[in-house]
Amino acid sequence: MRMAFLGGALLMSVAAAAQAPSGGQSGSADADDPNRMICRTIASTESRLARTRVCKTRAEWEQARRNARGSIDRPQRNQDSPSE
């Protein structure tokens, strides 16, 4: 019984290793694709439980990040320096 269990576990681990994708260059090229769709779950501020799933391309997420960063940085750069 114990040998059958160990044999089954060994076969399952070998099968899992055979199905695992290789760490080749195709994986990193796909991660840098600007047209790749990325979905994120955004928590709602109105409720602790409400969540919204938002899907955008990688380029759209990057543009949204730049816009948010710019809206924070712009007022800080435009502040008048205190005069003495």
pLDDT of residue 44 exceeding 60: yes
State the Cα–Cα distance between residues 69 and 61, nearest whole angstrom: 12
- Estimate to the nearest angstrom the gap between the alpha carbon of 75 and the chain centroid: 29
Query: Does residue 71 fall inside a structural domain?
Result: yes
What is residue 21's predicted lDDT score, i.e. its pLDDT?
Answer: 46
Q: Tell me the whole-structure pTM to 2 decimals.
A: 0.52
Based on the structure, what is the number of domains in the chain?
1
Domain that holds residue 40: 35-76
CB contact at 8 A, 10 and 29: no
User: Under 8 Å CB-to-CB from 37, ≥6 apart: which residues?
Assistant: 55, 56, 57
State the Cα–Cα distance between residues 84 and 82, nearest whole angstrom: 7
Query: Does residue 17 fall inside a structural domain?
Result: no
Query: Does residue 29 fall inside a structural domain?
Result: no
Q: What percent of the chain has pLDDT over 70?
A: 60
Query: Does residue 30 fall inside a structural domain?
Result: no
Query: Does residue 58 fall inside a structural domain?
Result: yes
Question: pLDDT band at 81, cuts 50/70/90?
Answer: low
Query: Does residue 72 fall inside a structural domain?
Result: yes
pLDDT of residue 1 exceeding 60: no
- The type of residue at 70 is G
